Amino acid sequence: MPNKPQNKLELFFAKPTSLLILAVFALLILGLRYITLNLESPLLLTIGRFHPIILHFPLVLIMILLVVELLSLFKLITFEKSVVFYLLLLAILFTLISIFSGYFLFASGEYAGFLMDQHFNGAVITGCLGVLTLAFFLYYWTNERLYTVYFFALVSTNIAALYTGHQGGNLTHGQNYLTEYLPMLKKEILTDSKSDSSIYLYEDIIQPVLEAKCAGCHSTLRAKGDFSVSSFKDLLKKSESGKVPLKHYLPQESELFLRIMMPDSLSDHMPPAGKTSLDEKEIVLLKYWIEKGGNLKQSVLDSTSSDSTNTQITLLLNQLEPALKKYRFNVAKTALNDQKLEEELETLAIDMEVVIKRDDKAEGNMYTLSSTFPPAPFGSEKLAQLKPYLGVFTKVSLVSSQLDDADLYVIGQMKNLEELYLQKTKLKGSGLIHLSQLKSLKILNVSFTNVDDKALFDLIEFPALKQLYTYSTKTTKDVIIALQKYKPALKIHAEEGPYF
């Protein structure tokens, strides 16, 4: 049985020179950790995009190798060493390709932060361990006594690869991706199957529907029109217009029902255009509930109703059940995700020495970002740590920070940003154009910066800008007057302006 290196390739690797080559690769991988490239080559960026596919090859190969060694160890199947050699060579080759493609993806600037660091460190360790494993194998090929060293290197590579893969998964899917649904297993809400007589109209049917279709704008946290669906009591409180949302027994006098029934074309129709309306079955059940009294503990089947009504309601309920299940599920999931996000941001705020608070006035789970007092340093590196969360900020106030024009590129990705306060920063204005894609940016304050006339012209492109503060900048009066002409709705203040 050929158990020694035979052909050219095998003999080449068996020579000490191959070890030198392997060492060079290990150093290269280590080096990546310390070089930060700013990639602009479309080819390399494309290779980077393939990383999530390529990475599965080395993972599987490294695992197969472990299985092969375990099978041999327990004398179940014995493999020729040359087979192991080729598997190992392929595994290392794909590991290297994976690491380099991953590096290109990283260099695109799309990923940053703590998880990215962990994933990157893991990859470097996996790569180096992989190279070591191959080196040890080459020794062991001619010297059986080195088996243990090789075997442990292989086991370590497997552990490192699993760790790296897991961190990579967290990076793309968000932390706790694997365990996301586990806490919901405990929630009876998802598994209950009550009998008809114990189903309550409000808590089992109406509430989940309102929660799914109205709570985005009408909750305790964000009660548009001073109306909330968060609790039964809230439905009975007078709202902004002075009308009562729910009147017992009287659907036609209940504002919440009337709003739902309005023609879609009216702006008063609820939910507003673009959001999913209630479907017919939901409307029938809502009306039935209010007619029956609109009470908290109203059973689905009612002795005062005729048999045919009860049959009809049961039928409707059965038809609606899949939708209701989905609503309950989504409500539970949203609550869980909101809580998770809040926890992550709390930790981040402490780490980064900034203040992150919930923006109660905004729709959805939104936050404001501001400096501590007195302000801790805040520059590009801290901004990069926020990359996974850019979409959650509505108001940002980083007065006297070290941010400059290049950083506006990142801020330009805060797609829900409404207010931005950057007084006393290093801005000169060339980066302002990156903010022109922010559809909701209403207030911009660049007082006490070096923003100049040229930059002011870029503001013409800003779709929603309403207030601009330019006190003590390099702008001139003439240009401000010209800008005002282009954008009559924009208020340009020659004062320092607020921050928070």
Q: Which residues bind ligand HEC (CB under 6 A)?
A: 213-214, 216-218, 224-225, 227, 239-241, 243, 245, 255-256, 259-260, 268, 270-272, 275, 278
- The amino acid that residue 326 corresponds to is K
Q: In the Cβ-directed half-sphere of 16, how many Cα atoms lie within 13 Å?
A: 0
Shortest CB 225 distance to ligand HEC, Å: 3
Cα 336 to Cα 343: distance, rounded to the nearest angstrom = 11
In angstroms, give the least distance from the CB of 274 to ligand HEC.
8
Q: Which residues pair with 445 in a beta bridge?
A: 421, 469
Least distance (Å) between residue 230 CB and ligand HEC: 13
Distance CA 423, CA 438 (A): 19
Cβ closer to ligand HEC: 262 or 350? 262
CA distance 455 to 470: 11
User: Least distance to ligand HEC from the beta carbon of 323, Å?
Assistant: 14
Nearer to ligand HEC, 187 or 287 (CB): 287
Q: Which is nearer to ligand HEC, 240 or 495 (CB)?
A: 240
Cα separation, 268 vs 290, in Å, equals: 21
Shortest reach from residue 216's CB to ligand HEC, in Å: 5
Closer to ligand HEC by Cβ: residue 174 or 216: 216
Give least dist CB 269 to ligand HEC, A. 9
Strands 443-445 and 354-358: unpaired
At its nearest, how many Å lie between ligand HEC and the CB of residue 243?
A: 5
Q: What is the C-alpha separation between 481 and 307, in angstroms, rounded?
A: 75
CB of 363 to ligand HEC, least distance (A): 6
| Cα dihedral 41→47→50→51 (10° resolution) | -100
Query: Which residue's CB is nearer to ligand HEC, number 59 or number 362?
Result: 362
Residue 350: CB atoms within 10 Å: 10
- For residue 462, the minimal CB distance to ligand HEC (Å) is 24
Of 214 and 451, CB closest to ligand HEC: 214
Q: Name the DSSP class of 301.
A: S
C-alpha span between 134 and 472 (Å, rounded): 64
| Residue number with CB closer to ligand HEC (275 or 297) | 275
Please say which residue, 259 or 424, places its beta carbon nearer to ligand HEC: 259
E strand residue ranges, 206-351: none
**Shortest approach of ligand HEC to residue 228 CB, angstroms?**
10
CB-based burial of residue 150 (10 Å sphere; 0-12 exposed, 13-18 middle, 19+ buried)? buried
Total number of residues shown for the chain? 500
Question: For residues 246 and 417, which CB has a smaller minimum distance to ligand HEC in the complex?
Answer: 246
Order of all β-strands in the sheet with 467-469: 354-358, 367-371, 393-397, 419-421, 443-445, 467-469, 491-493
- Written as six digits, the tokens of 76 are 């179940």
First to last CA, the chain: 78
* Closer by beta carbon to ligand HEC, 141 or else 227: 227
Inter-residue contact 278 to 209 (CB < 8 Å): yes
Supply the DSSP string of 355-405, one letter for each residue: EEEE-TTSSSS-EEEEE-SSPPP--HHHHHHTGGGGGGEEEEE-TT----G
